[in-house]
Structure 1
Amino acid sequence: MFKPSPTALAILATLAAPHTLAEEAKATLFDDVVVSASRTSAQKAEEVPAAMMVVDAQQIDDRQMNNIADLVKYEPGVEVSGNGRFGLQDVTIRGIGGNRVKIMIDGVDQINGYDSGTQFMRSSRNFVDIDSLKQVEVTKSPASSLYGSDAIGGVVAFTTKDPADYLEAGDDTALSIKAGYRGDSQTFSETLTLANRSGDWESLLLYTRRDGHETETQGSVGGIGDDRTKANPMDVTNNNVLAKLIYAGQGNHRAGVVAEYFDSTTEGDLLSENDGEPGAPGVTYANMQADDTSTRSRFGLFHDWQANLAAFDTLSWKLDYQDSESDQVTRNWYSFYQTNRAMSRQYQETSWQFSLDLAKSLESGSVKHEISYGADFNREDLENLNITTYESDRPTDIARYAPKAEATTYGLYLQDEISIGALTVIPGLRYDNTEMKPQIDEYYHGGDDFKDHKSDKLTWRLGTLYQFTDSLTGFFNYAQGFRSPDLKEMYYAEDSGRGYALLANPDLEPEESDAFELGLRGAGSFGAAELVLFYNQYDNFIEQTTDYSNPAYPYGLLQYNNVSEATIKGAEFKSQLWLDALMGAPEGMSLTLSVAYAEGENDTKGVPLNSISPLSGVIGLAYDDADGIWGGTLDWTLVQGKDESDIDPPSDRTGSPVTPYTTAGYGVLDLTAYYNVSEAFVIRGGVFNLLDKKYTRWDDVSSIEAGRTNMDRFTQPGTHVGINATYSF
């Protein structure tokens, strides 16, 4: 599996060979500037001893990216799953997703996902609007040595726009108006941005509004119940506000305040959920309706100081308050009690987060040190509440399936980038301490004698780069990762009253990992390429297990336990070739090729990991006019099918394995283009799934059994268009 392909080696050899072309080499995909790799300083992606993905605002606009799934659409090995009522849910990197991937906005940790295990509650982590972002950085390997717990599967770092992104030298005011339409969900969007510079002060106000409907499927059957294959009808509205005020004088200090507000509302009819709930014999639903609201608000202060002192050259600190909340209301007719009911499922996280980052450069002869160190503190309050009311004379039910809790985490880190000629060595070390205190009240029925959970961990990493030639670099990276168990895994408890129950487990241990990456990266006048091999070992994996030994619970007692060890290994290749320099094609024409392969196994059970996506690749042919007036890209995404032999089959409610649903391979063509009508006015458009291919993504159906008649409900949209126009003053 680790044998490099002849194509990959040939491309690398071509790029690494000495070139005699007089023209200056163009910027490649490894010239992107990233910050998340060191936390304290900007560096080119080519200087990072690990595989990374970077998407900037220009790509977001030109590729018609409309949501977080679009951000990773053309990056094999990184996926975003979810659709329907709860929308996009999890980011998965090399087969690891959910709360095992750290998501940050401007360095602020985002809410954990919270799933009730039913169709009534599933709080996502999708609290960001694409138009507010200037860059997205994805670290594909564990990053606990820099970012602590929840980075066991990697990091997704969103960076929001600044006033300087709109203000050129000499400008005092900039106004941008953007309007767009996306056909797969009939969504209209409008973004208004105002930036100002007055002396040493800069300000930004950005507002985005989106109004749309459900994301369409290629199903053809309407009606209600388990045979429905069309998407359930939904009305979706999003609002996002970003405001910044920054002191950016000529001195050594830069400081400011930032405020964000995001809300999303979804209203619709859950027609596919009527007339039955899978796994609940004798229970039927009718008139199922959803009324869901998600909000996130943040207020932060930051200060950057160019101090040039003996202890540090630069110092940066941030203090942020964040409140994230989901309230998902389901209304239906419930046959078990023969009445209409309304269920409100609420989950909320509020947090105070503080981070301190310092950096120092030292040089002794031929040895250079770039030292970064600092600390993080995070205090969170977590709360869930479930309120069920009935039209009949039944009393209102109020319950917490997990208790209110207070979580406190602090971490200390140290990293040194040591350069000795062509060799760079980067050792890093971090200590993290986590404590969660459950707060039991009358609404929680999972137990009352729980001790506080405490866990700590010392993690380290070692990254190395070696510059073989001006065009060829090799790198190796070893990184440890860990993740403390979350609120749901430790304390979620519920007795359904219908033959199954969920039990709390406050004695869970943290998950741990060891990850190895070996890569070869080349760049030259003809383009750039990277080949990466990776091997990741995970211990103490937390999984939900089911005990069928209690006859009072014929459908099982469910509980989270540290039961599994897992191994994930694979290879990735990406390249960007300038066809004009390589073979005399029209100036501005380029070709990109990306491929990702992974295989994973639950070592405890000896079965495949269903979180591993099939082999996939993207071929992109792009043209950009030499004057920058117009251009476009044709992307061909190819995905292999998922065979039954590569699937751990799901179980029915008695624990017996059933035949899994498998997905077929597919290829999808997308065409995007832009045209600068003037310096101020640009139009962008795209046609997606150009050949109207009917296909299903594995990540959306990985736990479903074969034989269902409604699988077209999980298909992706057919041919659809997107268009937007931006006018900037």
Structure 2
Amino acid sequence: MRVMHQSTKPENVSDLANNSSVLTGSDVSNLYGKNADTQALPSLVLQYDITPRLMTYLQYQRGAQFPNASQLYGSWNLGSSYAGRAQYALIGNTDLKTETSDNVEWGMKGEVAEGITMRTALFYNTYKNFIAYTRYTRANNPTQFTNVPSNIYTIYQAENRDKAYIYGGEISAKFNFGTWFEEVNGLSATLAYGYSEGQSKSSYSGDKYVDLDSVAPMKAIVGVAWDDPAKVYGTALTASFVKGKRATATNRESYTNSGSAITDSTSEYMRVPGYGMLDWTAYWQVAKNVRVNGGVYNITDRKYWDYLSSRNIETATNQDANDRALAVMPGRTWQLGVNVDF
């Protein structure tokens, strides 16, 4: 059993009203009020040893996510005119409630056979007052920009979505070939796969479950590595494969979970395409306390987008096309580093 408490209260907020003909000290205090909450978080884990080297478990855990300062009070970004229509702001929401969750997970980990280690897990998480950001544009949601400076064209605000759930699973395995063939001692292969889905809804009249856009798409990893048995040097070649995914826009027109029935959104986010990427890494233990690490990432110079950072890009305007171009992830990159342990 754990007990968590958070209390957030901005200081010197009255300074924000100085020299202002619009805001009073009382207004600022209402905008930046105190937020406090306490949560009791029980957990229970049952474990069973299938063999001395392989165990299975079943666990329940209660979770809580308190609103952070940015979600409660907001922050302005790109406040200068040079950024044009790319400027945005995070609008605070002091009415946010603590997000709570009930998490159930079953898993197994250990050595399933000589030379083969595995880890697998299946999970199902339910959330109440799930905290997520809603994106509003000046063109599609003009009423939301009444008190927003004219040089800001996009705003984000965190809100509580009354119900949400996420489920999925992951499995990884490592095969040490030297266990069976002494000639290739140090050679290994790794396989990993992860999948998750989630949906959320608010208490708006007529609202329905929609895909949770903050859930990452399916991903698989295949790798081959060779490590000197003495751990003096080693190298690895790793291929990553990520499935494409499109986030779902909604017509939520308010910052609070109340209002009239919600219609289907007319906005459409870009479908972030899937991709495959190849990385090569190596290390050399030069001395007992000195290790050199290096690598070449995205060897094939693949053009790709990261879903979590690109999911809210729309497709209707020239600015959307520019945003899409700016969101492209780095191509082929090199890295070299030295670690010295004192």
State the TM-score bracket (shorter-chain normalisation): 0.7 to 0.9
Which residue identity is paired with 1:563? Answer: R
How far off its partner does 1:511 sit?
A: 1.3
TM value normalised by structure 2: 0.72
**Is 1:586 paired with 2:195?**
no
Aligned counterpart in structure 1 of residue 14 of structure 2, from 431, 434, 441: 441
Q: Deviations over 1:215-234 (max 9, x none)?
A: xxxxxxxxxxxxxxxxxxxx
Instruction: Give secondary structure in 1 for the equivalent of 2:16.
Output: coil
- Cα distance between partner residues in 1 of 2:242 and 2:89: 39
2:103 alignment counterpart: 515
Aligned counterparts of 2:269 and 2:335: Cα–Cα separation in 1: 35
Structure 1 residue aligned with 2:175:
577
* Alignment of 1:669 onto 2:251: no
Which one-letter code corresponds to 2:200 in the other structure? N
Paired residue secondary structure (2:58): strand
Q: CA 1:442/1:685 → structure 2, altered by over 3 Å: closer, same or farther?
A: closer
Q: What is the SS of the residue equivalent to 1:443?
A: helix
Matches within 5 A, 1:6-405: none
Map of 1:618 onto structure 2 = 221
Q: Which amino acid aligns with 2:169?
A: A
- 1:509 counterpart letter in structure 2: K
Q: Are 1:459 and 2:26 an aligned pair?
A: no
Contact 2:315/2:321 (8 A) holds in 1: no
In the alignment, residue 14 of structure 2 is paired with which amino acid?
Answer: D
Which secondary structure does the structure 1 equivalent of 2:325 belong to? helix
Is the aligned partner of 1:648 residue 2:248? yes
Q: CA deviation at 1:667?
A: 1.2
For 2:334, which of 707, 712, 721 is the aligned residue?
Answer: 721
Unaligned runs of 5+ in 2: 18-22, 80-87, 147-154, 203-207, 255-262
After superposition, the Cα gap between the structure-2 partners of 1:580 and 1:545, relative to the gap in structure 1 and judged at 3 Å, is closer
1:482 aligned residue (51, 64, 74) = 64
Secondary structure in 1 matching 2:178: helix
> 2:235 is aligned with what amino acid?
G
Alpha-carbon offset, residue 510 of structure 1: 1.4
C-alpha distance in 1 between matches for 2:291 and 2:311: 41
2:6 and 2:51 mapped to 1: Cα distance? Answer: 45
| 1:297-337 deviation digits (Å, cap 9, x = unpaired) | xxxxxxxxxxxxxxxxxxxxxxxxxxxxxxxxxxxxxxxxx
2:315 corresponds, among 703, 706, 709, to: 706
Return closer, same or farther for 1:521/1:606 CA change in 2, 3 Å cut-off: same
CA contact under 8 A between 1:640 and 1:666: conserved in structure 2? yes
Q: Tell me, in whole angstroms, the C-alpha distance in 1 between the residues paired with 2:286 and 2:135.
A: 61
The equivalent of 1:535 in structure 2 is 124
Q: Which of the pair has the greater relative contact order for Cα pairs under 8 Å at 6+ separation?
A: 1
Instruction: Report the CA distance shift for 1:573/1:585 in structure 2 as closer, same or farther (over 3 A).
Output: farther
The 3-state SS of whatever aligns with 2:8 is strand
Quote the Cα distance in structure 2 between the aligned partners of 1:470 and 1:565: 41
Structure 2 letter corresponding to 1:512: T
Q: Retained in 2: the 8 A contact 1:474–1:521?
A: yes
What letter is aligned with 1:434? Q
Alignment counterpart, residue 166 of structure 2, candidates 533, 550, 568? 568
Bigger share in helix: 2
Which letter maps to 1:529?
M
Q: Could you list the per-position Cα deviations for residues 376-417 of structure 1 after superposition, in whole angstroms to 9, with x for gaps in the alignment? A: xxxxxxxxxxxxxxxxxxxxxxxxxxxxxxxxxxxxxxxxxx
Q: Distance in 2 between matches of 1:578 and 1:555?
A: 58
2:161·2:200 contact (CA, 8 Å) conserved in 1?
no
Give yes or no for the alignment of 1:690 onto 2:299. Answer: yes
**Contact 1:535/1:567, CA 8 A, preserved across alignment:** yes
Give the superposition deviation at 1:725. 4.7
In structure 2, the CA distance between the partners of 1:592 and 1:556, relative to structure 1 (3 Å rule), is same
How far apart in 2 are the matches of 1:676 and 1:569? 41
- The separation in 2 between residues aligned to 1:709 and 1:586, in whole angstroms, is 50
Amino acid at match of 1:431: V
What amino acid maps onto 2:321 in structure 1? T
Count of aligned pairs between the two proteins? 291
More divergent stretch after superposition (445-454 vs 660-669): 445-454
Once residues 727 and 528 of structure 1 are traced to their aligned partners in structure 2, the CA distance between those partners, rounded to angstroms, is 30
Query: Normalising to structure 1: TM-score of the pair?
Result: 0.36
**Greater mean alpha carbon deviation, residues 679-688 or residues 463-472:** 679-688
- For residues 82-141 of structure 1, give each alpha carbon's deviation from its aligned partner in whole angstroms, at most 9, with x where no partner exists: xxxxxxxxxxxxxxxxxxxxxxxxxxxxxxxxxxxxxxxxxxxxxxxxxxxxxxxxxxxx
Letter in 2 for 1:649: A
Residue 700 of structure 1 aligns to a residue whose secondary structure is: helix
In structure 1, the partner of 2:84 is none
Say if 1:669 and 1:522 are closer, same or farther in 2 by CA, change over 3 A: same
Cα shift at 1:675:
3.4
Residues 480 and 620 of structure 1, relative CA distance in 2, 3 Å threshold: same
How far apart are residue 490 of structure 1 and its match? Answer: 3.7
Task: Name the structure 2 match of 1:372.
Answer: none
Alpha-carbon distance in 2 for matches of 1:617, 1:667:
9
Contact residue 650 and residue 704 of structure 1 kept, 8 A: no
**Counterparts of 2:327 and 2:339 in 1: how far apart (Å)?**
33
Q: In the superposition, relative to structure 1, how do residues 483 and 632 fare at CA in structure 2: closer, same or farther (>3 Å)?
A: same
Q: Tell me how far apart the structure 2 counterparts of residues 443 and 621 of structure 1 sit (CA, whole Å).
A: 57
Residue number among 200, 213, 233 corresponding to 1:602 in the alignment:
200
Q: CA deviation at 1:688?
A: 1.6
Give 2:249's aligned amino acid: P
Q: Is the 8 A contact 1:650 1:703 kept in 2?
A: no
Contact preservation (8 Å) 2:161, 2:201: no
CA contact (8 A) 1:579 1:585 kept: no
Alpha-carbon distance in 1 for matches of 2:70, 2:329: 31
Partner Cα distance (2:211, 2:61) in 1: 24
Q: Shift of the alpha carbon at 1:629?
A: 3.4
Indicate the SS of the match to 1:602.
strand
